[in-house]
Every structure is written in C-alpha cells, then in structure tokens.
Amino acid sequence: MKPVLKSLITTIIFFTVAEAGLRAVYAVRNAMVRLVPLPYSVGDQYGPIPPWLDRLMILVPDDTLIWRNLPNVRRTYVDIFSPAHTEADRTALLRRFVPALPVEFRANPTWTISLNSQGYRNTELSSAKPPSAVRIACVGDSWTFGMNVDQPRAYPSRLAEHLREVQAETNFEVLNFGVLGYSSFQGLQLLKTRVLDLHPDIVAIGFGMNDSEVAGYRDRDMVSWTRPGFGTRILEAAKDLEFYKLLNYVALTLKFHPKPISDYLKEEVATKGSGHVDYEAIEPWTRVSPRDFEGNIREMIRLARDRGAAVILLDNELWPDSPYRPILKTIAADSHVPLVDSLALVAEARTGMERDLEVRLGLASADRPEPPARSGPPARPDLPGPTPLAVAPAPATVIFRVSRGDFPVPQAIAIVGTDPQLGNFAPNTVSMHDDGTHGDERAGDGVWSLAATFTPGSRLAYVYTNSGTRGRWEGLDIPHIRNVIVPPSPGRRPVYLPIETFGRLYMQADDWHTDAAGYDLIARAVVDAVARVRLKADTTGAGGR
C-alpha cells in the first residue's frame, strides 16, 4: 500500500500545485488586460472559450434571476465587428493569451462600462426617492443596458439628458436596470424583487429579442430545478477546477472545425432569411414562448400600475418578422400604453442615411418601390372569378453599390454570393468596378458597382471582400451576411440598390444592436412617451392607468 499511497499523495500535490499555478498565471494575465476584445464571427462560430477569460465575465448565476451582473465592475471593451484579413484573425482574439491587441485591431472602437455596488449601470441608488423627483426605471435587456456604447450614450442616460433639456424644472431620476441577455421572464422577476421597491413613477419595459432564442431550455424551468445530489455537486466542483477546464478547452479546440462562409450563404438563402418560425412546435426549447411573453409583459404592467406607476413599452429588436412584435402592439393597444417602435426608428434613419449619401455623391437614387395602392375593396376569396394568367416578370438589371468607406482598396472590392453572377460562393472572383463601367456611375469616386440581371423576387445573399486572393476568404468585410430581394424593374430601367459601405452597417453596432445614434433616437421617443403618460396621470390622477 505504501507505493500506492505515495503515488496518490504525489498526484494530489501535483494537481494542487498545477491548479494554484494556473490560477496565479490567469490572475497576472487578467491584471494586465486593458481592453477586453468582443470578437464576432459569421454564424457565431467562435469555438471554445478559453478558461482564462472566465474571470473577465460580468454575469454570475442567480437563483431567482438565472444570472445577474457582478457588482463594482469596470471594463473597457473593444469591438471586433469590423473588417479582417481572415475569419481566423477574429476568432484568434478570443484565444489569444497575450492581452495586447494585434496592430490591425488597435484602432477599433471601444466602450466602457461601470457597474455600481448592486451590479447596475447607474450611480449608487437610494431606496428613498426625493419628494420632488420623478423616478423612471428602465427595465430591459442589452438594448437598455447599452451594448456597444459608453455609459453616457446608453438610452437611459440619453433619456435623462433629453428630459433635462425639455423639462429643466422637473427633477427626473432615470435608473438603468438593463442586463445583458435578459428575457421578459427575468425582467418580471427583477421588477418584483428590486425595481418596484424603489417606487418608480414610470417603468419603461423593453424585451423580446432574447425571449425568442431557441436555447434548448425555458427560462421558467431554470429557477425550479431541485438542488442536485452530493455526487453531482462533487462533479460540478471538479469541472470548476482550472486544470480540468484547460484540458477540456484544449480537447474542444482540437475538434473545432469552423464552416466556411459559403455554407452560411447557402443557409441564408435556403431558410429565406429569418422567415416564419413555429414557436408552438419548439416551445420546450424556447427561452420564453410568445404566449408566456404576453403573460409576462401584461403582469409587469399590472404590478407597476398597482404601485401607482405608469408604463411605457419598447420594441427593441431588429428582427422584422418577430412574432413578439405584434404581441407588444396588441398589449399596447389593449392596455393604452405607449409603445416605442425602435425597429421603425432605426429603419427610417437608415433610409435617410442612404439617401444623404446618394445626394452627397451625386449618384442615382436607389429604387425604393412604394406598396401598391388599392383600387376598391379587396377581392372576396369565397366568390369565383376569372383565373389570372401567369405572366413571368421581366428580368431586372440590378446595380450593387458599395462605398469603400474608411478603408483603402489596393486592388478591387469583390462581391460573392449565391448566384453564378455573384461568384457562386467563390470569394474574390467577381470584382466590382469604380471605373465608370459595369453599372458604375462615376470613375474614382470610391463607390464600387456591379450590374447583374435577376428575376424579380429572387432572394440573394452576399458578402463583400477587399483585395483578397482569388478563391480564398481574405479581405473580409464585417461578419454579416447582406441580402436583398430583387425588386421589379419599372420600364426595364436598371434598379440601383442603396449604397452600402464596406466595414459598416448603417445604424447598427452589430447584427443585434443599434448604435449610439439609434439609442439616442429611442431616448427621444421615450421622452415623448413620458410626456404623454405624465399628462394622462395629471388628467386621470391614476398613475397613467
């Protein structure tokens, strides 16, 4: 037994020293971090997360809220939603042990968060509300938190600033209760356990984007699990050892083989973009079903009103086909609650930016067909009528246009998409033109163009590349798949698409969030909603009910 016992003691000492050593190395490494990179990837295919990043996370488990923010945290992030030479350059940032950023990403935008002692993006909160103050509690997800922007540019901060501008005589106190990744279920729990105890006069509620996530679990089930047994807890504790996590990370990294961008282009067209999702069929795997979402929002409104607070709803989501959007509109109409439609605000501002760019460059206006006007009442489907003749639409010549933006173009910008005219998934093979030919309107103006012919109604998915090697995914644009449904060609004239910009999505910081300009638009819209609910409260004396 002595050799066995000796080996066991030696093994325990080895793993104890290794564990302590890893923790020390990670602590030293993370103490040197000044900028935390937020890498992005087409299809969100990041691969395994290295264990040394665990202590830079700002979310921790919570028995009631599923997770919450860490208190007293300050972080500065650098966004990598930007062009890169290859996709591996972006994901390599996630696994980079040396904390310094590579040269090509050092000019990327940064944003800083500062969380108070309760884990919120506010100054310290007092439960006692000043008698003259109008307290507004903003409850929501990453849009409310202010993803991708500095603290003063998050929508609650902009709301406070704009309220001071228009009603300087009133002491408005705006509280930011946004938490990354929160759903309406978590928002309801937060309202019950924290927000209402602060006696807000107005509660601004913004959820929906995370509710629709097909995560493989329901949020309401996450807080009803029974405590695991002793053996399970021992295994979980073992999995929390840094040595185990490092070995597991190495094993997962060796097995990780990312898909090429062409596969995501194919999937985009095959699924017809976002398309229709049958949430009834996948309810057990959806974080919050549309039915539960409606119940959560209505319950939040009821609880707020029972405490004498008025309510404002926000539809903070960039998915046009979301089934949660019509639910919010129905609730707003039924409950007589103002609804801020962030998607419409962002879309209108994006169209304005596109038109301004066309005017500034003196180029043709993009074809933005208006919906067809109705002549008389709609046809009754139950009455027989003549069978219309099927007429194939005339092919449309489409002009793709992209500005080089802030990026030099050593050779040419290329387009690659889901059609042979767009390279048929082969990158850097179809070059666009800035020479006054192939649909380009003016040589040397920095707008690269390509003319191609398609059947109206065709759905196209594509990306841009900048001066990469033929046949290789090099010189990549932002990690985003662009798409368009080919419009008809009036009089068979060329259809000019809006001018896009390499390295940028107008009014967006990434695929899921608006940018600082969008948050400011939302804040201004909420200012108007605040004025309406306060006027109604003054008129009815019922807290906006």
| CA 200 – CA 178 distance, rounded (Å) | 15
| Mean model confidence pLDDT for the chain | 89
Give the residue among 123, 184, 176 at the shortest CA–CA distance from 523: 176
The reported pTM is 0.90
Give the residue among 397, 391, 433 at the shortest CA–CA distance from 415: 433
Q: Please say if the pLDDT value at position 15 is more than 90.
A: no
| CA 83 – CA 42 distance, rounded (Å) | 12
Dihedral, CA of residue 152, residue 153, residue 158 and residue 161, to nearest 10: 40
Dihedral, CA of residue 165, residue 169, residue 171 and residue 175, to nearest 10: -20
- Percent residues over pLDDT 70 in the chain: 91
> What integer is the mean pLDDT of 175-200?
97
Q: Which residue has the higher pLDDT, 8 or 251?
A: 251
> What integer is the mean pLDDT of 268-294?
85
Helix or strand holding residue 312 (H, E): strand 310-315
How many other C-beta atoms are found inside a 10 Å radius of the C-beta of residue 75? 16
**pLDDT at res. 386:** 42
**pLDDT at res. 16:** 86
Q: Which amino acid is at 196?
A: L
**pLDDT at res. 165:** 94
Q: Is 175 exposed, middle or buried (0-12, 13-18, 19+ CB in 10 A)?
A: buried
What's the farthest any 2 CA atoms get from each other in the chain? 97
Q: Which amino acid is at 542?
A: A
C-beta contacts of 100-107 below 8 A and 24+ residues apart: 101/35, 101/37, 105/37, 105/78, 105/80
| CA 463 – CA 262 distance, rounded (Å) | 10
How many other C-beta atoms are found inside a 10 Å radius of the C-beta of residue 118? 14
Residue 27 tokens read as: 């602590």
**pLDDT at res. 95:** 87
The rounded Cα 250 to chain-centroid distance in angstroms is 29
Give the residue among 217, 177, 175, 190 at the shortest CA–CA distance from 62: 190
CB 173, CB 129: distance < 8 Å: yes
**pLDDT at res. 381:** 34
- Percent residues over pLDDT 90 in the chain: 69
Q: Is 180 exposed, middle or buried (0-12, 13-18, 19+ CB in 10 A)?
A: middle
Digit-coded pLDDT (tens) for 120-169: 999 888 888 888 899 999 999 999 999 999 999 999 999 999 999 999 89
CB 77, CB 36: distance < 8 Å: yes
**pLDDT at res. 375:** 35
Q: Is 255 exposed, middle or buried (0-12, 13-18, 19+ CB in 10 A)?
A: exposed
Q: Please say if the pLDDT value at position 439 is more than 90.
A: yes
How many other C-beta atoms are found inside a 10 Å radius of the C-beta of residue 498? 19
Residues making up the chain, counted from first to last: 545
In the 8-state DSSP scheme, what is residue 476?
Answer: B
| CA 234 – CA 271 distance, rounded (Å) | 43
Give the residue among 126, 118, 122 at the shortest CA–CA distance from 190: 118
How many other C-beta atoms are found inside a 10 Å radius of the C-beta of residue 136? 24
Q: Please say if the pLDDT value at position 383 is more than 90.
A: no
Digit-coded pLDDT (tens) for 501-519: 999 999 999 999 999 999 9
Q: Which residue has the higher pLDDT, 464 or 223?
A: 464
Q: Where are the alpha helices (DSSP H) in 167-229?
A: 184-190, 219-222
Helix or strand holding residue 136 (H, E): strand 133-140
**pLDDT at res. 275:** 59
Residue identified by tokens 């793709």 is 400
Q: Please say if the pLDDT value at position 112 is more than 90.
A: yes
For the chain, the 3-state helix, strand and coil shares in percent, each to the nearest 5, are: 40, 20, 45
In the 8-state DSSP scheme, what is residue 286?
Answer: B
**pLDDT at res. 364:** 82
**pLDDT at res. 384:** 36
**pLDDT at res. 535:** 83
SS (H, E, C) 66-116: EEEECCCCEEEEEECCCCECCHHHHHHHHHCCCCCCCHHHCCCCEEEEECC
Confidence tier at 272 by pLDDT (50, 70, 90): low
**pLDDT at res. 380:** 31
Domains of the chain: residue spans and CATH: 1-57+75-114+226-255 (no CATH), 133-213+287-346+514-540 (3.40.50.1110), 261-278+393-498 (2.60.40.10)
CB 200, CB 137: distance < 8 Å: yes
**pLDDT at res. 119:** 95
* Measured distance between the N- and C-terminal CA atoms of the chain, rounded to whole angstroms: 78
What are the strands, taking DSSP E only, across 2-92?
36-38, 59-62, 66-69, 74-79
> What integer is the mean pLDDT of 324-353?
96
**pLDDT at res. 14:** 83
**pLDDT at res. 385:** 40
Digit-coded pLDDT (tens) for 28-82: 999 999 999 888 888 888 889 899 998 899 999 999 999 999 999 999 999 999 9
Digit-coded pLDDT (tens) for 440-467: 999 999 999 999 999 999 999 999 999 9
> What integer is the mean pLDDT of 340-351?
96
In the 8-state DSSP scheme, what is residue 492?
Answer: G
**pLDDT at res. 230:** 66
The rounded Cα 52 to chain-centroid distance in angstroms is 25
Digit-coded pLDDT (tens) for 362-379: 998 876 544 333 333 333
